[in-house]
Structure 1
Amino acid sequence: MKQTFLTMERRKNMTVLFIGRREFLAQALTKIYNNLEFTVYLKDWEDSFLERISQNQPGLVILEITRPERKAFSACQKIKAAFPDQPILLFSTHYREHYLQKSLEAKATGYLHQDLSMEEINQGFQKVLKGQATFPYPRNPYSSALSPREIEIL
């Protein structure tokens, strides 16, 4: 299997701020994108993340969507209000249509989830780091096996 996700473009003095509760997700992203400098902030949601962003001036902020979801989306809105040009990527363990909608409403730069392939996640990271928006839909694993008529019936 080709591991294109390790080809993340190195950014000089680029810091990624991860805000969430799942240490395994933060550590996985840190290992995969080991050429970026990660600052991991594993806390329940507090307003002190605005101070961290002000102090660290990260090139990217990753907000983990956990329950209750509204905290990640309201944090995104607060960050965008204080730092309008700050790239923000919302990340969840599974695709949810309402997460996509709320990410757009919160003015996130992107929304990625673990239902995507590593190549799609890498492309999403690359886009966000270049200042482009990314909101990919998950592929239907059955779509290529079904005819258009079978899909229509379903």
Structure 2
Amino acid sequence: MKDMNDAPSVGMIRSVVIVDDHPLYSDALAAALQLVFEGVKVSKAQTLGAALDLIESGELPDLVMFDLKLPDVCGISGFQRLRAALPDAPILVISSLTSVQVVQALMEEGAAGFLPKDASAQLLRAALQEIASGRKYVHSGYQSCPVAMGPEDRFDASHPKLAELTPQQKRIMKLICAGKPNKQIAYELSLAEATVKAHITALLRRLGVQNRTQAAVLVESAQPATAIGSGEADAQAFLSH
């Protein structure tokens, strides 16, 4: 990756594990890391299993760079397994699977950041600097649902099941799409948190989904396609495993 030569050395990132099954791409990441973190030790694994073997053998990296699409990974459970094996190390996900709902689910599961695989060198540098400083990094385009949740009639028309929600459930669904936790939804709608939970349980049942993330994916997939957040079939499959 070019344009990284002026990147300062920041944070205390001394060792990194890159989990990616494309050797050329992992080599490019390793070269970029050397420009940002002088003297960093880089280990590579082409599968989740190989990465877990590294960890079991005593490898405790300061950072993991993780691709979601690996030969032995099916769905979000792969990330969850890695997170469980390394509960304290930040994990930067770099993937071609770029649904907003996938990104939000990963952040909720404890990812330190997300970058699409076609991100520029400058964005990679910014993400590394943020994570090395103890913060999280998500590109602004992935921080909320990319759908205009404005007029109620557009929301109703987007999917037959959404039209069946009560007005209060629709308001809650819109806040769920904005990534708001139950406590914030309760505050914004002047409701008790228990009431919000009851509404969410009812709307999930009505929509025929199991959790908030799947509900938001249903809303997003019912909207016109956008540049960011495409590939909803892949997103649905990823979030269901």
Question: Does the pair score TM above 0.5?
Answer: yes
Give deviations 1:45-88, integer Å, cap 9, x for gaps.
32x53342251110101111216796473233123334321111
Which structure has the bigger radius of gyration? 2
Alignment of 1:98-137 (within 5 A): 98-137=101-140
Which one has the bigger helix percentage? 2
Contact 1:115 1:138 (C-alpha < 8 Å) held by counterparts: no
| Identical-pair percentage | 21
Which amino acid in the other structure matches residue 21 of structure 1? D
- Select between 2-11 and 92-101 the one with higher mean Cα deviation: 2-11
After superposition, the Cα gap between the structure-2 partners of 1:91 and 1:5, relative to the gap in structure 1 and judged at 3 Å, is farther
Contact 1:16 1:37 (C-alpha < 8 Å) held by counterparts: yes
Give deviations 1:75-118, integer Å, cap 9, x for gaps.
33123334321111110136332331231232111111134332
Number of residue pairs matched?
137
CA distance in 1 between counterparts of 2:10 and 2:74 reads: 31
Q: Which residue of 2 aligns with 1:90?
A: 93
- 2:80 maps to 1:77: yes
Q: Which residue of 2 aligns with 1:39?
A: 43
Matched residue SS, 1:90: strand
Which amino acid in the other structure matches residue 127 of structure 1? E
Q: Which residue of 1 aligns with 2:68?
A: 65
Which runs of 5 or more residues in structure 2 are unaligned? 143-241
Contact 2:95 2:117 (C-alpha < 8 Å) held by counterparts: yes
Give deviations 1:10-69, integer Å, cap 9, x for gaps.
667811101121111100111222232210112x332x5334225111010111121679
Cα RMSD between the aligned structures? 3.1
> How big is the shift at 1:123?
0.5
- 2:44 maps to 1:53: no
Which runs of 5 or more residues in structure 1 are unaligned? 140-154
Which one has the bigger strand percentage? 1
